Structure 1
Amino acid sequence: MRNKYKKGSVVCLLALGMACTTYGQTRQYSVEQCRTLALENNARIKNANYELQSAREEEKQAFTNYFPSVSATGFGFNADKGTAQMNLAPGMEMSMLKNGLAGGIVATQPVFAGGQIVNGNKIAKLAVEMKQLQVQQSEKEVMLTAEQYAWQVLTLQEKLQTVLSVDTMLQRICNEVEVSVNAGVALRNDLLEVNLRRNEIASERINLENGIALSKMLLAQYIGLEDTDFEITSRLMNQTAESLHMDSIFCDPASSLPLTPEYQLLEKNLKLYKLQHKISIGKNLPTVGVGAGYMYHDFLDVDRSFGVIFASISIPLSGWWGGSHAMKKQKLQVKMAENELMDKSQLLKIQMQKCWNDLEDAHKQLEIASLSVEQASENFRLNRQYYQAGTITMTDLLNAQTLYQQNCDKYVDAIADCQIKRLKYLQATGR
């Protein structure tokens, strides 16, 4: 029993230790996961989807106009005397309709309404399609913002790692210089310079940690996380400029234009104005309807009920005076939408070319930054050897170290800038 108790205790302790270790682990998210979380949790996406649902309800409401409209009416009255009186003979009078009840139900089916019902349903369907495209636009902007926030956190994390690595190198240099000073082969001023540089590194570390904390708060709020106990990871941090495969992502602006939600919205906007022009014409055409009803009354103290069918036609005679101006106005709106489609289509293609130029520029900057890191690393290594050989001063060595750190930071910034501009170009070409 004692052995079983000991084994059980060991198992419980191991399980508790594993649970504590798991609980204490910092969550890790990739840039892609941040985009996904933003699409799931961001308030702007939720509101865009609510607007889409609202447009779908309006489409269903417009469809009900195809069906008959049914109405029921009823009334009753009780007068102090008959509302209808007749003199039958001198001294003889008849009074009627002192009280009574009446009611009925009528169904009216529109037969022709100048195309207003048909075009109204087309507009409602078009509104749903436009809302869907607006949801896509919102998703693009949210994804881009989430990626920018994620890369901001990631670059600050990488710069913090560089600072920690530099501090480790300076610690080793400080130890070596301290030994040399004690041996009398180095000046104490060299040791002071190293310590001053380490103080600068400590200050940079504080600023980076504060920047990371603030950036995580912004990212967490944007993608719907409850706390900032997480890190951003990316396999792209060690990539080279060649790994981006620039040639494979280029797309001709003319062929990409129909794929963009912005261009599709412009097309549907033109279609919307054309439908509104048709409705303005329909409002000035005759409307025809047929209907049927069932009526009841007891006005003469006799219950009477009967059915009725009817047809109606309404012709807006005086409506053409103002209606003609409304039709001309809508026709001008159509021409304006056509001009807007042409103008903004050209601007969208220019925007695609600009995004490509920006991406090419960022790609070249990444190539330069990658080469500069290699050269700065080699320069620092050689300067350290030269200092140990006594051919350069500590100032020269620390300048080489600072140059190395600066180029590492530029390399991290170049990667982030290249990735963000890559996403912008893909979105601008409808991908």
Structure 2
Amino acid sequence: MKRISIILLYIGIVLPMFSQKIYTLKECRELAVKNNIKMRDAQMSIEQAHETEKNAFSKYFPNVSAGAVYFHSNDYLMKKDVSLSAEDKQGLSSIISQMGLNPSALASLPSSYSFDMLKSGAAAQIVAMEPIYAGGQITAGNKLAKLQTLVKKLQMRQSKDEIVSSTETYYNQLITLFEKMKTIEAADNQLKRIHQDAENSYKGGLSTKKDMLTVEIKQNELIANRLKVENGIKLCKMVLAQYIGMNGIDIMVDTTITEDIPEPSSYLVDHTSAINNKVEAQLLDKDVEANVLQTKMKKGALLPTVSIGAVGVYADLVGNGQANVIGMATVSIPISEWWSSNHTVKHQKIAEQISRMDREDNRQLLIIQMQSAYNDLDNAYKQIQIAKKSIEQSTENLRLNEDYYKAGTGTMSDLLDAQTSNQQSQDKYTEAVCQYLNSRTAYMIATGREVF
């Protein structure tokens, strides 16, 4: 029974370690793009822009409005008392006689009358007006709305590039720390071997105990460094997990450091041509286009607006409802706006000129940025070559100092210095490789290319 429990414990602890998912850089990038809050915000901004497009397109349709009113008063709204004078009666008698009637009938009629009207009533109307000409404002507004959607899409691509670059930075930081841990393990084995040699020399009477204590102090320093690296790994894994949408999960990554380090010239492109593929350059173009369209809209506000339409009216005020349809056309000329809005147009023209000048200036800065990114890549590549030579030299130096110490012609201090130098050269190589990878991605993004 005890044996079965041990087996089950082994299965429960060891097997999950082997089955844990190991994420590659590509997978981390994909997860970051999918789950990062910036991408979700960017996607929602595009949806907002689409709604703005639909709203702008609706301006092509007729403007329809409707209204209705019903009223009921506690008294008649129109009252009139009419009295007939003698002259009025004589004139009315003459009219009745001409009609072939007996004028004596007037004697039975009253000489004064009261008229009461409009105590309650109802009216309704519906108006439909179609803009025929609005100074080009509707067309320019639709183009501007579509342009804003394109801008949002470019900004989303910009966010994607930023996320891809940041993901690789976090990923390579983690690789650097794992490689440092490997270096610490190798250094620990070296110190154990050096300590054993020092102990043998001490027992053989060839050295003092001071050499052993010096090695032990170095081993304690290595233990402290190991703790720092272990804590760094934990923190870096948390940061990467949160960034790719797996917050709280103890992720594992592929810690294999690449040996494929192509020369920077294999990625070099013509920067003047590449600028057209860069998101920032395209955004500068869109900014100029937007200012041009805004200028057209400001000018259009000074032009006449022509609309045609129809009005349907129904009224029931005296108990006899009646419906009518009226066709109409309107022309609106903003005369008073010509003075104030003319300055608005000039203001917008200046803004358009500024956007053009800013575009040219920033395009030049983008080319400089590309060259700077390439210089960083070239420098990182050269640092790798230097680090490789340092590893060869420090490894040979360590071997020689070990031989000198064993032969009694070298000191423990020189041996430990050689061991430290060897460890540092290994760490610098790892840092140089990761810096090269980060710089390569930065250069690809700077030249408007997809990161592989």
CA-atom RMSD, angstroms?
2.2
- Partner of residue 252, structure 1: 270
CA distance in 1, matches of 2:126, 2:15: 71
Alignment counterpart, residue 82 of structure 1, candidates 72, 76, 81: 76
How big is the shift at 1:121?
Answer: 0.4
Does structure 2 retain, via aligned residues, the 8 Å contact 1:106–1:293?
yes
Does structure 2 retain, via aligned residues, the 8 Å contact 1:31–1:234?
no
Q: Does 1:121 pair with 2:134?
A: no
Q: Any runs of at least 4 consecutive aligned residues in structure 1 with deviations exceeding 6 A, and if so which?
A: 13-17
How big is the shift at 1:21?
Answer: 4.0
- Partner of residue 224, structure 1: 245
CA distance in 1, matches of 2:249, 2:411: 44
How big is the shift at 1:18?
Answer: 5.7
CA distance in 2, matches of 1:286, 1:172: 94
Does structure 2 retain, via aligned residues, the 8 Å contact 1:220–1:226?
yes
CA distance in 1, matches of 2:8, 2:322: 87
CA distance in 2, matches of 1:396, 1:16: 48
Equivalenced residue count is 420
Does structure 1 retain, via aligned residues, the 8 Å contact 2:188–2:222?
yes
Alignment counterpart, residue 134 of structure 1, candidates 155, 159, 164: 155
The DSSP-based 3-state class of the residue aligned with 1:317 is coil
How big is the shift at 1:32?
Answer: 2.6
Give the AA of the match of 1:333: A
User: Can you list the C-alpha shifts for 1:134-161, whole angstroms capped at 9, x where unaligned?
Assistant: 1111111122222211111211111011
How big is the shift at 1:80?
Answer: 2.5
TM-score (norm. length: structure 2): 0.88
Give the AA of the match of 2:128: A
- Partner of residue 6, structure 1: none
CA distance in 1, matches of 2:324, 2:37: 58
User: Can you list the C-alpha shifts for 1:76-108, whole angstroms capped at 9, x where unaligned?
Assistant: 111232223344544212211111011122221
Are the structure 2 counterparts of residues 238 and 330 from structure 1 closer, same or farther at C-alpha, using a change threshold of 3 Å? closer
How big is the shift at 1:23?
Answer: 2.6
TM-score (norm. length: structure 1): 0.92
Comparing 182-191 with 130-139, greater Cα deviation is found at: 182-191
- Partner of residue 308, structure 2: 290
Does structure 1 retain, via aligned residues, the 8 Å contact 2:277–2:447?
yes
CA distance in 1, matches of 2:415, 2:349: 75
Give the AA of the match of 2:16: Y
- Partner of residue 429, structure 1: 447
Residues 378-389 of structure 1 correspond to what in structure 2 (within 5 A)? 378-389=396-407
How big is the shift at 1:390?
Answer: 2.0
How big is the shift at 1:34?
Answer: 2.2
Query: Runs of 5+ in structure 2 lacking a partner?
Result: 85-111
CA distance in 2, matches of 1:110, 1:238: 65
- Partner of residue 351, structure 1: 369
- Partner of residue 47, structure 2: 53
User: Can you list the C-alpha shifts for 1:183-228, whole angstroms capped at 9, x where unaligned?
Assistant: 3233222111111111110111111112222222222222221225
The DSSP-based 3-state class of the residue aligned with 2:75 is coil
Give the AA of the match of 1:134: Q
How big is the shift at 1:346?
Answer: 0.5
- Partner of residue 259, structure 2: 239
Alignment counterpart, residue 193 of structure 2, candidates 154, 165, 172: 172
- Partner of residue 218, structure 2: 197
Alignment counterpart, residue 68 of structure 1, candidates 59, 62, 83: 62
Does structure 2 retain, via aligned residues, the 8 Å contact 1:366–1:414?
yes
How big is the shift at 1:19?
Answer: 6.7
CA distance in 2, matches of 1:238, 1:99: 90
Residues 313-352 of structure 1 correspond to what in structure 2 (within 5 A)? 313-352=331-370
The DSSP-based 3-state class of the residue aligned with 2:326 is strand
Does structure 1 retain, via aligned residues, the 8 Å contact 2:263–2:381?
no
- Partner of residue 30, structure 1: 24
User: Can you list the C-alpha shifts for 1:259-292, whole angstroms capped at 9, x where unaligned?
Assistant: 0010000001000000000000110111111112
Are the structure 2 counterparts of residues 228 and 152 from structure 1 closer, same or farther at C-alpha, using a change threshold of 3 Å? farther
How big is the shift at 1:16?
Answer: 9.2
The DSSP-based 3-state class of the residue aligned with 1:244 is coil
Does structure 2 retain, via aligned residues, the 8 Å contact 1:27–1:229?
no
Are the structure 2 counterparts of residues 276 and 238 from structure 1 closer, same or farther at C-alpha, using a change threshold of 3 Å? closer
Give the AA of the match of 1:42: N
Does structure 1 retain, via aligned residues, the 8 Å contact 2:178–2:255?
no
Task: Report sequence identity in percent.
Answer: 39
Comparing 204-213 with 83-92, greater Cα deviation is found at: 83-92
